[in-house]
Structure 1
Amino acid sequence: MKIEANDKEIQDIFSLGYFKIPRFQRPYSWEVDEVESFWNDVVKENPENYFIGSMVVYQSKKPYFGIVDGQQRLTTITLILSALRNAFLKIGENNLARGIHKYIEKANIDNEDEFVLRAETSFPYLQSYIQSFDGLKLNCEVGSEELKLKKAFDFITKKLIESIPELSSLIDNQSQPSLFTNHDTAIVQQLKAIRDKVLSLKLVFIQLENEEDAYLIFETLNARGKDLTTPDLVKNLLLKKLQSKSIALDKAKEAWNTLTKQFDGISDLDVLGAYLLHYWMSKFEYTSDKALFSKVKLHLKNDESKANALIIDLNESASHYCRMLKPESAVWKKEERDIKRLLESLNIFKVKQQSSFVLSLLRAYYSQKISLKNLKTTLIKIVNFHYCFNAITKQRSSGSIATKYSSLAIRLSEIEDKNDFQPILNDLTNFLRTKRPEEDEFVVKFSELQYLSNITKFKSIIRYTLNNMLPTAENGLDINLNNMTIEHIIPQSFIGNGFKEEAVASIGNLILTSEDVNSNMLANKSPVEKIKLLKSISYPLEKAVINSDDWSTETVNKRTKEMASKIYNELII
């Protein structure tokens, strides 16, 4: 491997040729705080010839380079130069604007204009909205990367105006006064000073011979502590194994882009990393996030067919994982509504141990390897166990639960016939029963559940608990978690007036009612009046474990224990 390293300024680098962010690189990922830190370093506090680190490239053909390391900084510098160019244009300095634009776009050997930095994943947003000299605004969907670019560019424009406040009124003014054709004005000099600071930034320019070396360096940089995630490395590995055979269509890269787009509506920071881990645990073996890349690399070796099969299956399984993470956004048949509700319950509990097995269950159901009845039965057991184990008693697993789920998921992924599922279900049932907390512990922890307007830690679990104690409909009373509010039988206004806070806040003092009943009927009435009114509307008091018209602290404590015992013994595992 031949490596050349030289100190260079940004203006020299941008004059070398054209830079492409290659297919294995992640998209633009800087948040506003990272952009602000970079701005402060290179503009606000920048001494002469400020050093910003290294940049690693490989040359595909002259004068075109692929970027291995440094794309976040190079992209951000392009955003700064574009904002400076726009400022020059707004104040009528067209020549200065064109002078800086040559570092953004310039003519190639065929005398055709070409952007110095090419980022395919952000096309056409970066090119049209930011890099383009004429600012042609195309209608295009703003995805996650484009949104980061937009926020970064808007922030840089804002910081530029903060640095030169006089720009604000001039930028808002659409006319271009001839006053600023004088290059000696203060605003022009300040803009030129920022421009010169940016163009004089120094870095170590490291050039490799070919793309093959680039893949290797990409992995090595991660091993040396660079901020690359498991998805970055898996993407790099798959695209390395599946080299494109077509100039017009890079199937592997498109497959990866299709995969990531499935998670666009999910706000979890590392949803793709979590998916890759749970997918692997549902198909191959239990592992940790840190070890996952090594496992994938060992599995693929030099087998292109395995890489192709993996990226196809990752795409197919992703839809099931999204269904699991956001059941409220998925389309369900009428007979599948209970599945949606059960998946929503697991999300309320905020547990992940079961993810590999639930993914395998959904995959098996939609490939018709298990029935809807078996899917529902299994999910009920899983939900009830984690309600007891995680939501109420707050147990922490040593890893044995996630390991067991993984082994069951792998077995499930290998079945061919619906009859093969029963031994897996039996194994799951026996395992969950051995891990289930005892009733005494459940009752003690259940009694700690409290809710007031200023005590909301357990609100979602209390809503879930109270909702599950009631029928879906009773005498016309709509009992739906999304349409119900928590009502205190002893009103919160009674605290200090014969009742202590812990009694009023206790789950034994709580019920679910509709918003209308809560606000207009019960309000701040006494407990005796409330119970009388609830009877008048045929509220299911018996199912809610309200067996007394007299309501006191002792009644609340008694009801709490009765609720806990009833719930524990009705949990199907």
Structure 2
Amino acid sequence: MNKKYIVPRFQREYSWTQDEISEIWKDIISNIRFKNNIIVNEEYFIGSLVLVGEDKSTEFQIVDGQQRLTTLTILLSALVETFKEIEKEDLAQGLYTLIEGKTVLNKPFFKLENEHPKPFLQKVIQNFEKVKIAPETQEEVLLNNAYDFFVKRFQKQNLIKDFSEYTNLDSILIDETIYTNFLEAIRDQILQLKTIYITVSNEDDAYTIFETLNARGMNLTTVDLVKNEIFKALRSQHPNDDAKDNWKKIRTNLSLREEKVNIDTYFRHFWLSKYEFTTEDKIYKSFKKLVKQNKIQMDQFLEDLIYESDNYKKVTDPLLTDWKQQEEREIFNSLMALNVFRVTQVRTLLIALLTQRNKNEITLTDLKRVLKIVENFHFIFSAVCSSRASGLESKYSKYARRFRECKNNRDTRKVILDLNVDLKEKLPAQNTFVENFGNLYFTNDETKHKRLIQYIFKTLESSLRKTDELEIANITLEHIIPQSTVMLSGAVGKIGNLLPLAGSINNLVDRKDFKTKMVLFEKSELRVVKEFIKENSTKDNWTEEDILQRTEKMAIMAYNNIWRAD
């Protein structure tokens, strides 16, 4: 039938992963039976659908069921492509009528209409002649993954394997005819799917049902529910749908960079940063309360979400181009460091600071100062000591909101002072730090700490230079005693056995003895290397005791001087 099913503006985006896709695939296959080697399709109930529209209508909006309908559309499209590849054009064209319909004026339309991932869904998946487009957003990645999953399952060997595993198929001689029959059985099984559908007559009921379904266990996220409320308040006005367009701007902001950001994570950090600290499952209740109290105006709330998503991407995936002025370089370095440390709780604070800077509510000097405080704290607390972060999230939420309330430089500096005192109270003791610093390890086989150790050497180098006139470029890590030294297998990867070197010098010293390496080290312009030469010039060799002593010395200097809590 030529009915169109529309994914409405308030709906969440496609979110199924391989777990859900595999499950529906197994359900479809397992309801295909063989009786006397004849394929029999059994009925399969896929759950209920909730739709907006009159029973006799040709268009319905999907309130509940869009994940299933989208997945089935992707499956059908992959099956169409498979029929084309085995040169079964009639089967491909016939099946495609389930994806694309025709109006009474013979105008084509897709039976599943979804504007969220346009044009990716339409061009890459729904079109009969597909166009290759690289996925950009998280939704597009998931759509692409689903399509690739089904294409792979439809390959002959995989399909036979799945039929053997999930049906009562006995051993059978497989030829091209049988393979085609299996593909047709999948098609027929989709046509045998059963559902119960419930229709409501207007969009107001749809918004209410969407929220009610969540209360009854539908797996909706906080963002799904907040988006539903925003779209309910900011209705589309022909020809524009500003709310939908603005929501797309948020999605685009969060997916522009290599590090794609989950919108649920962003919204949680935004909420904790700007409104109040609460657990994930209570944010929506908190949101509704503030809306009812007129403390949230939907249009401004949406504008704030857009604005701060731009700052959030600068926090989660920093680029030097975000900070073009030389005096801003320290901001970039601190943000990069926090990413190397894999610290996420602090993002609540960071987006507040960047927002304040954009509004000129915090000076550049104060911004750099607070970022350095946070960087130094998390180097010791998180990166080296892996301390438990309990209480930090609520602390950062509190300080984020305090920074946002600052009216002048004096207020800001008072908050910075209080934050510094609070963080110092949570710092691990020196002996704990020294012990954990000694566990940092890097070899070609164990690379977990590589980026952190590179960060340590770059920071040490900057400290020795005492100015920021020169930026340290990429460095390699040279093992003073080679990694192949069996006698030092336990110490060879410790930081006391490592030196930062340019790649060209590293190649020169490779596999050389200690005395020869010391001569070649002279070619380096790095202060860290020059200090090492100065301190060890009288030595004829480098021992395990030397490694352990240097490791401990570096740890003590790091704790008391370089990353000292002021």
User: TM-score under structure 2 normalisation?
Assistant: 0.84
8 Å contact kept, 1:323–1:330: no
1:454 maps to 2:445: yes
- In structure 2, the residue matched to 1:179 is none
- In structure 2, the residue matched to 1:67 is 62
In structure 2, C-alpha distance between the alignment counterparts of 1:564 and 1:425, rounded to whole Å: 27
In structure 2, C-alpha distance between the alignment counterparts of 1:418 and 1:26, rounded to whole Å: 42
- In structure 2, the residue matched to 1:524 is 511
Quick check: 530-539 or 359-368, which moved more?
530-539
Between the two proteins, what is the percent identity of the paired residues? 35
Query: What is the aligned counterpart of 2:289 among 295, 298, 307?
Result: 298
Query: What is the aligned counterpart of 2:99 among 98, 101, 104?
Result: 104
1:413 maps to 2:404: yes
Measured after TM superposition, the shift of residue 341 of structure 1 is 1.0
8 Å contact kept, 1:357–1:409: yes
8 Å contact kept, 2:337–2:375: yes
Distance change (3 Å), C-alpha of 1:164 and 1:188: farther
1:56 maps to 2:44: no
Distance change (3 Å), C-alpha of 1:329 and 1:32: farther
1:511 maps to 2:511: no
- In structure 1, the residue matched to 2:121 is 126
- In structure 2, the residue matched to 1:396 is 388
In structure 1, C-alpha distance between the alignment counterparts of 2:345 and 2:138, rounded to whole Å: 28
Distance change (3 Å), C-alpha of 1:469 and 1:87: closer
Query: What is the aligned counterpart of 2:316 among 321, 325, 330?
Result: 325
In structure 2, C-alpha distance between the alignment counterparts of 1:137 and 1:534, rounded to whole Å: 54
| Aligned 1:20-59 pairs, distance under 5 A | 20-32=6-18, 34-43=20-29, 45-46=31-32, 48-59=42-53
Query: What is the aligned counterpart of 2:153 among 142, 159, 165?
Result: 159
Measured after TM superposition, the shift of residue 219 of structure 1 is 2.4
Measured after TM superposition, the shift of residue 88 of structure 1 is 5.8
AA of the residue aligned to 1:257? K
Measured after TM superposition, the shift of residue 148 of structure 1 is 3.4
Measured after TM superposition, the shift of residue 539 of structure 1 is 4.9
In structure 2, C-alpha distance between the alignment counterparts of 1:545 and 1:568, rounded to whole Å: 23
Query: What is the aligned counterpart of 1:338 among 330, 334, 347?
Result: 330
For residue 212 of structure 1, give the secondary structure of its aligned residue in structure 2.
helix
Measured after TM superposition, the shift of residue 568 of structure 1 is 1.0
In structure 2, C-alpha distance between the alignment counterparts of 1:457 and 1:39, rounded to whole Å: 37
Query: What is the aligned counterpart of 2:244 among 253, 263, 268?
Result: 253
In structure 1, C-alpha distance between the alignment counterparts of 2:255 and 2:44, rounded to whole Å: 37
Query: What is the aligned counterpart of 1:287 among 262, 278, 287?
Result: 278
8 Å contact kept, 2:51–2:64: yes
AA of the residue aligned to 2:378? H
Distance change (3 Å), C-alpha of 1:397 and 1:205: same
- In structure 1, the residue matched to 2:231 is 239
- In structure 2, the residue matched to 1:7 is none
Quick check: 501-510 or 539-548, which moved more?
539-548
AA of the residue aligned to 1:24? F
Deviations 1:350-393 (A, max 9, x none): 11222111111111112211111111111111100110111112
- In structure 2, the residue matched to 1:351 is 343
- In structure 2, the residue matched to 1:79 is 74
For residue 9 of structure 2, give the secondary structure of its aligned residue in structure 1.
coil
Query: What is the aligned counterpart of 2:142 among 134, 137, 148?
Result: 148
What residue ranges of structure 1 are gaps of 5+ in the alignment? 1-14, 167-184
Measured after TM superposition, the shift of residue 65 of structure 1 is 1.2
- In structure 2, the residue matched to 1:369 is 361
- In structure 2, the residue matched to 1:182 is none
Deviations 1:389-434 (A, max 9, x none): 11112211221x2222211111111223334311111111211222
Quick check: 107-116 or 432-441, which moved more?
107-116
8 Å contact kept, 2:136–2:255: no
Distance change (3 Å), C-alpha of 1:402 and 1:27: closer
1:424 maps to 2:412: no
8 Å contact kept, 2:454–2:500: yes
Measured after TM superposition, the shift of residue 232 of structure 1 is 1.9
In structure 2, C-alpha distance between the alignment counterparts of 1:362 and 1:154, rounded to whole Å: 40
AA of the residue aligned to 1:390? S
In structure 1, C-alpha distance between the alignment counterparts of 2:380 and 2:158, rounded to whole Å: 60
In structure 1, C-alpha distance between the alignment counterparts of 2:393 and 2:75, rounded to whole Å: 47
AA of the residue aligned to 1:349? F
Measured after TM superposition, the shift of residue 70 of structure 1 is 1.2
8 Å contact kept, 1:380–1:572: no
In structure 2, C-alpha distance between the alignment counterparts of 1:559 and 1:139, rounded to whole Å: 52
Measured after TM superposition, the shift of residue 44 of structure 1 is 5.8
Measured after TM superposition, the shift of residue 317 of structure 1 is 0.7
8 Å contact kept, 2:518–2:533: no
- In structure 1, the residue matched to 2:202 is 210
Distance change (3 Å), C-alpha of 1:27 and 1:40: same
- In structure 1, the residue matched to 2:190 is 198
In structure 1, C-alpha distance between the alignment counterparts of 2:80 and 2:523, rounded to whole Å: 73
Distance change (3 Å), C-alpha of 1:294 and 1:269: farther
- In structure 1, the residue matched to 2:174 is none
Distance change (3 Å), C-alpha of 1:24 and 1:556: same
8 Å contact kept, 2:259–2:317: no
For residue 217 of structure 2, give the secondary structure of its aligned residue in structure 1.
coil
In structure 1, C-alpha distance between the alignment counterparts of 2:261 and 2:523, rounded to whole Å: 51
Measured after TM superposition, the shift of residue 260 of structure 1 is 0.8
Deviations 1:497-551 (A, max 9, x none): xxx323322222221111111111x222233433343246565346559623323
Q: How many residues align?
A: 532
In structure 2, C-alpha distance between the alignment counterparts of 1:147 and 1:424, rounded to whole Å: 41
8 Å contact kept, 1:469–1:543: no
User: TM-score under structure 1 normalisation?
Assistant: 0.83
Measured after TM superposition, the shift of residue 85 of structure 1 is 4.7
Please provide the CA RMSD for this pair.
3.2
AA of the residue aligned to 2:273? S
| Aligned 1:380-395 pairs, distance under 5 A | 380-395=372-387
8 Å contact kept, 2:137–2:260: no
In structure 2, C-alpha distance between the alignment counterparts of 1:552 and 1:424, rounded to whole Å: 48
AA of the residue aligned to 2:517? K
Measured after TM superposition, the shift of residue 344 of structure 1 is 0.3
8 Å contact kept, 2:2–2:101: no
